[in-house]
Amino acid sequence: MTDFSIYASPKIDCHCHVLDPQGFAYAADVAYRPAGQETGSADYFARVLEAYGAQHALLVGPNSGYGADNRCLLNAIARGRGRFKGIAVAPLDASEQQLQELQALGVMGIAFNYALHGLDYYAKAGPLHERLAHLGMFVQVQADHDQLSALEAPLRGCGAPVLIDHCGRPTVSEGLGGAGFSALLRLADTGRATVKLSGFAKFSQQQYPFNDAAPFVQALLDAFGPAHCIWASDWPFLRAGSRLDYGALLQLFASAVPDAATREAILWTTPRRLFGFGI
């Protein structure tokens, strides 16, 4: 049953990308160059948010297209006039001053994409984690399969607030007891970790509505609670294996979280508190 109230509810989309190769050319050395329906400017995305009743969005600098070039991200934040904040990509040797400069421009943290680059690429990330912790900035982690089992200890010890992308991208065939997903559930007791209920297409073995993802979503809700769960669309759906649409993903969330108070916390209260939108 379609739940039209989800469109009227206040919302913050906590993982999405702006890819505008006409306005900001891709870096020459990137491995993947999004095109066609994988792209969308900040102005166009603002219209998408308006159409579905979303007030704010946390934009994530994509490794695809831009790598560590944050110009498109920062331009979108500036043009948004309070609508957007961001998660940037930075080199591991980024100084505290460089991080402060990004922070002053609306960047809330730095993305660490283990699913793309692997564990060894970030082997010396500890000092950057410490600098982020000192500034109160987020360590945002995209990992898949069992990678979080190797990352549990450093994330516990880093002292920074942690964002986990896309339900931790578990291995569905291993069930809730898989090594990576079990490590993610244990991170709930740190009180510093928040998980994004998003990206089902990145780990589900099924088509929409991704029924095999539902037990993982429920387990995360049970472990983290609505004070440490947030929702995201992952727009404009880079490398999606099949068609995805913003409204259908909102309906999927409405079905997974039917309780109005829990839904409001995940869509609005929790991300507004974490990222300071309108505060």
Q: CA neighbours within 13 Å on the CB side: how many for 245?
A: 5
How many structural domains are present in the chain?
A: 1
Supply the pLDDT for residue 60. 98
Walk along the chain (279 residues) in steps of 10 and give the mean pLDDT of each run: 88 98 92 94 97 97 94 97 97 98 98 96 97 98 98 96 98 97 98 98 96 98 98 96 95 95 98 92
AA letter at 144: D
Return the pLDDT at 4.
Answer: 85
Q: Rounded to an integer, what distance in angstroms lies between the CA atom of residue 70 and that of residue 74?
A: 6
CATH code of residue 198: 3.20.20.140
Q: Which domain holds residue 179?
A: 8-275
Q: Which residues contact 72 (CB under 8 A, 6 or more apart)?
A: 18, 19, 20, 23, 24, 61, 66
Q: Where are the alpha helices (DSSP H) in the chain?
A: 5-8, 42-51, 63-66, 71-80, 96-104, 114-117, 126-135, 147-157, 179-187, 214-224, 246-256, 260-264, 270-275
The residue with tokens 């006409």 is: 22
Do the domain assignments include residue 2?
no
Q: Indicate the SS3 state at residue 113.
A: strand
Task: Report yes or no on 120 lying in a domain.
Answer: yes
